[in-house]
Amino acid sequence: MEKTLIILKPDAVQRGLIGEITSRFEKKGLQIVGMKLMTIPASIAEQHYAPHKGKPFYEGLVRFMTCSPVVVLALAGKDAIVIARKMMGATFGSKAEPGTIRGDYGVSNAYNLIHGSDSPEAATKELGLFFKADELQTWKPTIQEWVYDMT
Ligand code: IDP
């Protein structure tokens, strides 16, 4: 099973959307293997968004991500990275399609509710940044055979 790192950004937490967004992933069949509420230290936010360093929005992005608590989720499933990215929708809330998380719940470009790893390499790096090894659970959902037609 592939793993991906999801962050419910400060705007999602402030707006009371933790349950709704998390529920979408659960209903889709992505398995929660790690979950916690935390305030991101600046040094972690800087490492997480290092690829954007130097861009005009970088400083504001780090400020936003560290200003109030987030929920970090580790999700597992076949093709979890691509599936979660599709469910999130396009980066900017104003452009994201209805039916996606960003398309249904927001209009802002910067305050776009959610982060999801965009590649296996990014997922490995980001899971390591936000979770210690013993914070990730290995468990088998009893329903798994029905989610993946393995009956
Ligand atoms: P992603 O979150 O869909 O992977 P990225 O291009 O990796 O999109 O951008 C990271 C985050 O930086 C976005 O989710 C958004 O919060 C912020 N961001 C990206 N581009 C802009 C911009 O042009 N203005 C303001 N914020 C931006």
Establish whether this prediction's ipTM goes over 0.95: yes
- Percent of the chain scoring above 70 in pLDDT: 99
Residues 6+ apart with CB under 8 A from 86: 100
Q: Is the pLDDT of residue 151 over 90?
A: no
C-beta atoms surrounding 110 within 10 Å: 13
Which residues belong to the annotated binding site for ATP? Answer: 9, 57, 85, 91, 102, 112
112 lines ligand 1 (CB under 6 A): yes
Ligand 1 pocket: which of 4, 52, 61 to mutate (most atoms <8 Å of CB)?
A: 61
**Domains of the chain in sequence order:** 2-147 (3.30.70.141)
CB 140 within 8 A of CB 148: no
Give the predicted TM-score (pTM) of the model.
Answer: 0.97
In DSSP terms, 71 is beta-bridged to 8, 37
43 lines ligand 1 (CB under 6 A): no
Predicted confidence (pLDDT) per residue in 60-100, tens digit: 999 999 999 999 999 999 999 999 999 999 999 999 999 99
Cα separation, 145 vs 131, whole angstroms: 28
Predicted confidence (pLDDT) per residue in 95-124, tens digit: 999 999 999 999 999 999 999 999 999 999
Name the maximum alpha-carbon separation found in the chain.
51
The two three-digit tokens of residue 94, written as one number: 């104003």
Q: Is the pLDDT of residue 23 over 80?
A: yes
Q: Atom of ligand 1 at shortest distance to CA of 115?
A: 2
